[in-house]
Amino acid sequence: VTVDLVVLTLRDGAHSVLLVRRGEAPFRGRWALPGGFVRPDEDLGGAAARELEEETGLVEGVHLEQLGSYGAPRRDPRMRVVTVAYLAIGPSLPDPVAGGDASHAAWVPVREARRLAFDHSDILRDGVERARSKLEYTSLAAAFCDEPFTVSELREVYEAVWGVELDPRNFHRKVTGAVGFLQPTGEQRQEGRGRPAQLFRRGPADLLLPPMMRGNQPQPG
Amino acid sequence: VTVDLVVLTLRDGAHSVLLVRRGEAPFRGRWALPGGFVRPDEDLGGAAARELEEETGLVEGVHLEQLGSYGAPRRDPRMRVVTVAYLAIGPSLPDPVAGGDASHAAWVPVREARRLAFDHSDILRDGVERARSKLEYTSLAAAFCDEPFTVSELREVYEAVWGVELDPRNFHRKVTGAVGFLQPTGEQRQEGRGRPAQLFRRGPADLLLPPMMRGNQPQPG
DNA sequence: ACAAAAGTGTTCCTCATACACCCATGT
DNA sequence: ACATGGGTGTATGAGGAACACTTTTGT
């Protein structure tokens, strides 16, 4: 039994995933999701947190949830392996460090992450879809932002992950009006030209009510 | 690696789950979810479907989806076992047949299913919550009904699973107005007194748009 | 006639959408 | 002055909540 990680973040405004380049057969030279075996004394979530820390150096403040299990009999040609996939979401994370059987690790824009090793393309697709869904009705978008953040930064998360454009004015009114969603810090931040933006932190609410509307735009990726 | 099943249905109007009485230690005499080991040549979903067929005799027409994995190191005191839980939902299913290491199997109302063996209470809670969530925005409720069914029967699914009362008139308008959700058969059925009800089958749509509202119920007084 | 269940019409209100408009700052 | 991004006001329409009302059956 292994755990594999779909680690999502925003890098230079692009919805990106952490991938490792395989240094060994099978799938040598192909991109893969980071992961590893569950140790005998570990919980599944604990194994996922350990792998996340090994790859990124961070665990605190990173959202981590179970995504699903993948156990087709020959998904790994070497042996029968059932993997439990986890979805991790954090603010712009530091450049990754190579480790384990990975010859290299990098942030890759989701739309460019193609033809991964094993069934990792399926797992990535499911993870991205989970993230897109949860933006609608939870406060997950704030997990992509360093605190404190502006309303515009939060809107850019939705626009990058969903691949759509949202009306800045209606977006502002909606997120500031949802009770418990945002907590104003009272401070402001200047972003080049224009009026300074108010700064916020995550509020106590986990759910966004009413949910954010996702248009019918086609999804790249 | 095992699979465990949360099989939900409606029995006499009660939201019920299929449980087996354990005949062996550990947890001898306690209720547990049905399940078993994944065979070497099986997919995870295939193992779940096989277990479902062994316990209920049915697979066709039963909704089956992966729920999540549970792998705490000592969840089974005998050995390290990671289980992949599946959620199954079907119309009023036949009385179950004992099999495997189960001394007895029965349909138990969800609210009476307490203190299950292993971590099965957690798994059941997650499965029930998954079913409740998916009623909101998918056509999953129809999986609880034998076809063809009436709008009232469909409404009783929501009321039993959610434990609320819904306005029959607004419910009727909503489900018949959602495109692709219900297909009228043109036939009618008499239910004792009252005007006969039109009969429907599931439509091609998997999603219910806009979703059914579960939140603010009419407050008494 | 009456009760009961199915189904329709109507009113009120919340909220998504679109967009006009004002605010605060850098160049 | 003007461009740019932050933020508010307002009109319109879709749809949820509540409920009066009609339709169709059994007793």
Closest-approach nucleotide to residue A199, Cα vs C1': D6
* Residue A77 in contact with partner chain B when CB distance is under 8 A: no
pLDDT tens for each residue of A134-149: 999 999 999 999 999 9
**Min distance B120 CA to chain A CA atoms (Å):** 16
- Average pLDDT value for chain B: 92
Whether the beta carbon of B216 falls within 7 A of nucleic chain D: the reply is yes
Do B70 and A44 make contact, defined as CB atoms within 8 angstroms?
yes
Backbone φ, ψ for residue A53 (5° rounding):
-65, -40
Say if CB A179 and CB A166 are below 8 A apart. no
Residues 16-45 of A with CB under 8 A from B: 38, 40-44
Burial of residue B191, with CB atoms counted within 10 A of its CB: 0-12 exposed, 13-18 middle, 19 or more buried: exposed
pTM: 0.93
Residues of B within 8 A of A80 (CB-CB) are 40
- Which residues of chain A fall short of a pLDDT of 70? 96-103, 215-221
Query: Of all protein residues, which has its CA closest to the C1' atom of D24?
Result: B195
Predicted local confidence at residue B221, as pLDDT: 24
Sorting pLDDT into bands at 50, 70 and 90, what band is B214?
Answer: confident
Residue B135 has pLDDT above 60, yes or no: yes
**Min distance B149 CA to chain A CA atoms (Å):** 31
Predicted local confidence at residue B103, as pLDDT: 53
> Of A34, A48, A137, A31, nearest to A86 (Cα)?
A48
Residue B13 has pLDDT above 60, yes or no: yes
- Cα-based angle B195, B199, B202 (whole degrees, multiple of 5): 150
> Of B38, B46, B45, nearest to B65 (Cα)?
B45
Say if CB B133 and CB B214 are below 8 A apart. no
pLDDT tens for each residue of B148-180: 999 999 999 999 999 999 999 999 999 999 999
Predicted local confidence at residue A161, as pLDDT: 98
Q: How does DSSP assign A40-65, residue by residue?
A: TT--HHHHHHHHHHHHHS--TT-EEE
Q: How does DSSP assign B91-119, residue by residue?
A: SSPPPP---TTEEEEEEEEGGG--S-STT
Q: How far is the CA of B215 from the C1' of C10 (A)?
A: 24
Alpha helices in B61-167 (DSSP H): 120-137, 151-162
Q: Locate the DSSP E strands across chain B.
A: 2-11, 14-22, 31-32, 35-37, 63-70, 83-89, 102-109, 182-189, 197-202
Of chain A residues 179-208, which have a beta carbon within 7 Å of strand C? Answer: 188, 190, 192-196
**Min distance A43 CA to chain B CA atoms (Å):** 5
Q: What is the enclosing helix (H) or strand (E) of A9? A: strand A2-11
Predicted local confidence at residue B58, as pLDDT: 86
Predicted local confidence at residue B34, as pLDDT: 96
Do B71 and A38 make contact, defined as CB atoms within 8 angstroms?
yes
Quote the tokens at residue B7: 């099989």
Q: What is the enclosing helix (H) or strand (E) of A189? A: strand A182-189
Predicted local confidence at residue B215, as pLDDT: 62
Predicted local confidence at residue B220, as pLDDT: 31
